[in-house]
A and B are shown apart, each in its own frame.
Chain A
Amino acid sequence: MDVTSGPAGSPTTHNARSEAGARRGLDGDAVFRVLVTGAGVTVLALLGAIILVMLFGGVQAFSTFGPAFLVSNVWNPVTHHYGALAPVFGTLVTSVIGLLIAVPLAFGAAFWLTQLAPARVSAIIGMAVQLLAAVPSIIFGMWGFFVVRPLMAHYVQPNLRHTIGHVPVLGALVQGAPFGTGLMTGGIILAVMVMPFVTAVMRDVFSSIPPVLKESAFGLGATRWEVMRQVILPWSRRAVVGAVVLGMGRAMGETMAVTFVIGNANRIGWSLFAPGNTIASLIALEFPESAAGSLKLSSLMALGAILMALSFLALCASRLMLGVSSRQARR
């Protein structure tokens, strides 16, 4: 039982009993304090080190291209020109598509699970939804590649082109050869992956509302939907936004699932069905082909730093939104 004999137990454990061990027990306390504080500081230092490594790795790229790195959409290993715009664009677009699909679904699922379903059904279905969150991302990638991609290529995209392909603005979104890969497919896979996370947070939030509020609304004759819409949602609005932003952070950092279906093309365009790239997928695909110390590697590290910054911002934002409720939960 490695829990009880634990990490700190080993040096002075069982002999340090009673009066004879009083002095050593005091030492034990000091040692233990140092040990756990050290662990805490290690975690702090770890994140610091990750950020520093990314920044130092990216220094070469940042200094070679300057601010232009952020606004250039060239990615040309032959001429050694690299820019971050296209992968950043792809990352944001796929994440936003993913959230646009996932958030209504997650809201619906959380609504059903917390307010409508019988408790036993809710427990089972809720667990199934959580299992979906546990499926490794590479499995989503394979599923996306072998199941979703053909669907997109054979049904969704041709039909969309047929129906709205000639509409002036919308038409631009569906142009391109029907490969089935691209930003839209990536977004859909992300939606399926992110939805359980957002559902889980929303579920916690919705079920933490004081029953009195709900009961008084029901007492006034409100329907369940009205209670949801006019009591629960306003009460938990900030937390719901926090959940959404948390999902955004997840979606932006996702690598394997997107890599399978994104199509790997460095481009920025209107079409949602054109192949694209995200920061994470570009790193996964290009890294094996970049020599140590090369400008390309440095550019990839710089992209990593940007991704880190994006996910940091997302987390900060969601913390601010979720802040109050999660801090209460922790106490």
Chain B
Amino acid sequence: MSVDPASKHASAAPASSEPDKWRVGSALVARRRFMDRLATVLSLCATSVALVALVSILLTLLVRGAAGLSLVTFTHSTASPGLNGGLANAIVGSLIQTAIAIAIGAPLGMLCGIFLANYGRGWVASTTRFVSDMLLSAPSILIGLFIYQIVVAPTGQFSGLAGGLALAILALPIVVRTTEDMLALVPTALVEAGIALGARKWRVIVFICLRAARTGVITGILLAVARVTGETAPLLFTSLGNQEWSVNPAHPMASLPVTIYQYAGSAYEDWVQLAWTGALLVTLGVLAINIIVRVGFDRKGA
């Protein structure tokens, strides 16, 4: 009798005194128990499919990627096949573009989140909220096309800055959403205390509400970093990628995801190896941020 606690309650008490009298339709009971077991097993299978996929991805990355991991990976730029290149330019390029994206996306996103939480009324706020969600789920390749049309095409130059801008658009809605949600959780009493002390509205918001919601907002920013670091599609037409060492945001800039994309399909073994190593680095970085956020910040805002 291990069907489930509830049905046991319903039938077990009388059943213990007179087992058979109270058992109605044992075929029905068997069928119900079977359905419950079946659903349990199937749902367990479904869950394990996700786990198997995750483990398979991580194992593949570790097995193929770790082989190419060495000091050269971090000290040398990508080079022609056979020249023992590394990923230094791609790693630095990714860091720079992510930094640009966060430097633009995070403040703008926080301001917009504040607007939605504290100022937004009526249709403007609801439209903005909807638009922000729209941006959140907009295909990232279209963001790349957009930046190409308004930045790259007019200036005639692929650039790391354009890549950073494209990533900023992707980071923006994540920050907007978490900021708004976290501000909404700030206790009213805290706000009222600030107002009662005679503080101006903006000071209450910045120094009391934002401060109270700090953890959540930082979570949002970190999640945005994680999301943006792995993005490839928006960079294809904006920062393009660069074989050489380049830290000038006005020029084409390498990035890990784009390098992976270009090298994974190549015919040269050492390039494919570099792609796997890069993939391992990106994934470990992104997953590490996610784990830190979810464990460290107790799943707030996630």
Which residues on A are within 8 Å of B, measured CB to CB?
1-4, 6-9, 25-26, 28-29, 31-33, 35-44, 46-47, 49-50, 53-54, 57, 104-109, 111-113, 116, 125, 127-132, 134-143, 145-147, 192, 195-196, 199, 217-228, 246, 249-250, 252-256, 260, 280, 283-284, 287-288, 292, 300-301, 304, 307-308, 311-312, 314-315, 319, 330-331
Contacts and interface: CB of A to CB of B under 8 A. Distances in A.
Contacts of A314: 137
Nearest to A140: B57
B207 interface: yes
Contacts of B283: 135-136, 139
A138 B138 contact: no
B261 A135 contact: no
B288 to A, nearest CB: 10
B290 A223 contact: no
Contact of A256 (B50, B111, B261): B261
A196 B11 CA distance: 38
A151 to B, nearest CB: 11
B230 A57 contact: no
B139 A252 contact: yes
6 contacts: A50-B143, A146-B64, A223-B32, A223-B35, A225-B38, A330-B184
Interface residues of B, number: 111
B232 interface: yes
Contacts of A252: 139
A300 B148 CA distance: 13
B291 A131 contact: yes
Given A36-B111, A39-B111, A125-B51, A105 B46 contact: yes
B76 interface: no
A199 B39 CA distance: 16
A137 B257 CA distance: 10
Contact of B138 (A6, A36, A37, A50): A50
Main SS of the interface on chain B? helix
A57 B237 CA distance: 15
Contacts of A44: 124, 127-128, 131
B110 A6 contact: yes
Contact of A57 (B9, B40, B149, B232): B149
B49 A7 contact: no
A143 B33 CA distance: 39
Contacts of A331: 184
Nearest to A312: B134
A43 B135 contact: yes
Interface stretch (B67-75, B84-92, B114-122): B114-122
Contacts of B174: none
Which residue of B115, B131, B133 has the most chain A CB atoms within 10 A of its CB atom?
B115
A288 B237 CA distance: 8
Contact of B201 (A29, A106, A139, A311): A29
Contacts of A137: 230-233
Interface string B169-190: 1001100100011001000000
A7 B205 CA distance: 12
Contact of A112 (B3, B46, B133, B232): B46
B81 interface: no
A82 to B, nearest CB: 16
B43 A112 contact: yes
B79 to A, nearest CB: 21
Contacts of B217: 3
B57 A143 contact: yes
A69 B82 CA distance: 46
A84 B130 CA distance: 28
Nearest to A136: B230
B146 A108 contact: no
A9 B207 CA distance: 9
A24 to B, nearest CB: 10
Contacts of A26: 200
Given A3-B217, A108-B46, A304-B145, A139 B230 contact: yes
Nearest to A132: B54
Contact of A47 (B38, B54, B134, B279): B134
Contacts of A105: 46, 49-50
A39 B125 CA distance: 12
Contact of A54 (B50, B145, B206): B145
Given A4-B207, A135-B283, A226-B36, A29 B128 contact: no
Contact of B135 (A29, A46, A283, A307): A46
